[in-house]
Amino acid sequence: MAATVSYDDVEVGTPLPPAQFRVHRADLVMYAGASGDFNVIHWNQRIATAVGLPDVIAHGMLTMARAGRVVTDWVGDPGAVLEYGVRFTRPVVVPDDDRGALLEVAGAVREKLDGRRVAVDLTATVGGEKVLGQARAVVQLA
């Protein structure tokens, strides 16, 4: 985990360290088991394409959780995240190969709020395409 981030040390525009996350088909299986979400579009290519998807897609909440790691790693305490929300703008297609999909996440402080809180915006892309919109968190800083 990162060192504690101080409210006094951040300004609007302060970047969060970016991160990359590989998403493989095995990750989808493990997430399905942990979450109980066994929707076939997350593991069966035939069904996924039959319903109009390009291939098997990652669970939206898995994508959201991975993106949120950029915030929790930056602040050093997952309990410091007071709010977190996203809009899903595009599915994360997970090919059946050794590379999987590469989720790239960056963030920056959007606003300093009262009570030593900051608002953070995140950008999450796969292959240069935005997969999360309005990805925002409010974090309590030291």
93 in any annotated domain: yes
**Three-class secondary structure of residue 135 per DSSP:** strand
Per-residue pLDDT of the chain (142 residues; tens, 9 = 90+): 445 899 999 999 999 999 999 999 999 999 999 999 999 999 999 999 999 999 999 999 999 999 999 999 999 999 999 999 999 999 999 999 999 999 999 999 999 999 999 999 999 999 999 999 999 999 999 9
pLDDT of residue 4: 81
pLDDT of residue 54: 97
**CATH number of the domain encompassing residue 124:** 3.10.129.10
Q: Which of 130, 136, 101, 134 is nearest to 16 (CA)?
A: 136
**Three-class secondary structure of residue 83 per DSSP:** strand
Cα 63 to the center of its chain, rounded Å: 5
Give the domain extent around 93.
Answer: 12-23+59-140
Structural contact between residues 47 and 40, judged by C-beta atoms closer than 8 angstroms: yes
Give the whole-angstrom CA distance, residue 90 versus residue 133.
Answer: 9
| 64-74 as b/e: b if 16+ CB within 10 A | bebbbebbbeb
86 in any annotated domain: yes
Cα–Cα distances in Å, from 58 out to 19, 99, 110, 125?
18, 14, 28, 13
38 in any annotated domain: no
69 in any annotated domain: yes
Q: Which of 15, 22, 23 is nearest to 106 (CA)?
A: 15
pLDDT of residue 3: 58
What HEC string does 17-81 produce? EEEEEEECHHHHHHHHHHHCCCCHHHCCHHHHHHCCCCCCECCHHHHHHHHHHHHHHHHCCHHHE
pLDDT of residue 1: 46
2 in any annotated domain: no
Q: Please give the tally of structural domains in the chain.
A: 1
